[in-house]
Amino acid sequence: MDLLAALASFGGVARRHQLLRLGFCDSQLLDAVRRGEVSRPHRGCYALPDAPAEAVLARVLSAQLTCVSALRHLGLPNLAAPMGTHLAIPVHRGVAPEDPRLRNGLRWHRADDAGTSLCVRPLRVIDHLGMCTDFRAQLAAADAALRARLVRKDDLRHMTATGTLRARRLARRADGRSQSPGETVVRDALMDRGLVVEPQRLIEFVGHVDLWVEERMVVEIDGYAFHSSREALGEDSRRNNALTLSGIPFLRFPAVDALRDPDLVAARIEAALRGRTNLQRRHPR
């Protein structure tokens, strides 16, 4: 393994002792710095030129990324507003406020299982979100983590940083079948209204649909990346026709609308359900 590949395996940045354990020597590290292939943001810390700033800060401070700062590195969605860098340190470690390396917006989290990897364990990341984000941002990350099999549903009940009631609610509502953050937040908004929602229901002649609401309406959340191609648009038309021929009502919403105001989307879905119910009462089959 060459030095650049080694740094990439550490998330783009590593401490000197980590690289020495892999067989590199100080002269190799310094030569790479002189050639401009590697930077040295702090004594004993080496990074790729494009290493994320939060990853560099974590290594410099001998900490780990967690909460919102760890989501991108784990491939999980982040629906929270920008809120600085969130790092985890062991419970017993002290923090000196006058440390010149500390920056504005830095948020410390404590983790009794903090180690040497760039990010804390995925379950701890989800747990720390409960201290800094709203429920739906945490739920979207939990859904994605379940889908990627980074956490188990039962483990969500035993988180410690997230409040007990919120952890129980998260465990009840988290669902690894969800395929996107837009689906997650609309599903949660519908459940807040007391509606029964099943994600990714398989419907004959149609396929899996995003949300199956009250066992009688399909709701699709369209992401631009998937639905912009000619093939995807053709598939959408086929599915729409299949639903219509099956007599199943359906609604489509752009993902941007679902993420911007899931409660408004849920209100429109509920109104459509009520309207259809009233129509059936006036014109029974």
What token pair was written down for 260? Answer: 């911007």
Q: Is the pLDDT of residue 128 over 60?
A: yes
Task: Give pLDDT tens digits for 254-279.
Answer: 999 999 999 999 999 999 999 865 54
What token pair was written down for 32? Answer: 């790479």
- For 186, residues 6+ apart whose C-beta sits below 8 A from its C-beta are 211, 219, 221, 253, 258, 262, 265, 266, 269
Q: Tell me the pairing of strands 86-89 and 107-110.
A: parallel
Distance from C-alpha of 208 to C-alpha of 224, rounded to nearest angstrom: 18
Name which residue leads in pLDDT, 62 or 225: 62
Name which residue leads in pLDDT, 30 or 98: 30
Does residue 80 contact residue 133 with C-beta atoms inside 8 Å? yes
pTM of this prediction exceeds 0.75: yes
Which residue(s) pair with 198 in the sheet? 212
Task: Give pLDDT tens digits for 181-202.
Answer: 999 999 999 999 999 999 999 9
Residue 119 to residues 43, 126, 172: CA-CA distances in angstroms?
21, 12, 26
Complete edge-to-edge strand list for the sheet that includes strand 39-42: 13-15, 45-47, 39-42
Report all structural domains of the chain as residue ranges with CATH numbers, in order of start: 52-172 (no CATH), 177-282 (3.40.960.10)
Residue-level pLDDT at 276: 66
What token pair was written down for 106? Answer: 């830095």
